[in-house]
Structure 1
Amino acid sequence: MASLSRTGEDSSASASASEPQCINWSVEKVAEWIESLGFKEYKGCILSNAVSGRRLIWVDASTLPRMGITNWKHIQFISCKVRELLAVEEPYWNKSITLPYRCEMGTFLEKKSFTGQRSQKLKFTARTS
């Protein structure tokens, strides 16, 4: 299990060890990462849509076409690599509605994707059961 907590730490402090380091990436760094995956042609899509590391949680098969990435095989591959990078599970659309929508890391990253002091202070910490 994991929990979300707000701490009074300096907002410039680095992410905790359990948070993916990519959430601190700039738009340029995300574009370089896309290029390193072999998709040089999509670097401009990332730059023009201002996808920073904090915004990667929103990059999936439904948002990539709106960003200009329309090749289905590329969408599948990039979506998979984003999930791996963020350490979030693949969405399971057949599960019970009583279960949480996302894994705890996914929920944390969604909250962390916003700007401002509140989201900057959010820290992901693992809890033991």
Structure 2
Amino acid sequence: MNTLNRIRRSVANRSDDVLLRGEFDQFGSAAQVGRALRELVLDGTLVRLGLGVYAKAKPSVLTGKPIPVRPLEVLAPQALNKLGVTVMASRLTREYNAGQSTQVPAGITLNVGRRRIARKLGFNGKAIQYEHA
């Protein structure tokens, strides 16, 4: 069985929606894994959220193009947790949930504490913003 089929089967059997490139290192060399992941992105099984971060995909009902199975607001904290970053709700989200504000927070902002994060996560023009507390 080749690397592409092994990775395809592994993706189908996983329950989590976010996948890191490092999770597939045991299936082959770095070049083989990279080619297999690129092929899975091209055929619509996966979508790329960032460098080495992928999500399971489904076809869009409007365009037919692949989109993530869950919204970016759900996938981004999962990806950061897999990368070892503790994620909390942003200040605006906390105020809205506590009833202190009536403004619904626009965009996707995550509080990462005092950590400095340079990783860009996003899909289709929507990007994650980081807030430091």
For normalisation by structure 1, the TM-score amounts to: 0.28
**Rg comparison, structure with higher value:** 2
Greater share of residues in strand: 2
Greater length-normalized contact order (CA 8 Å, ≥ 6 residues apart): 1
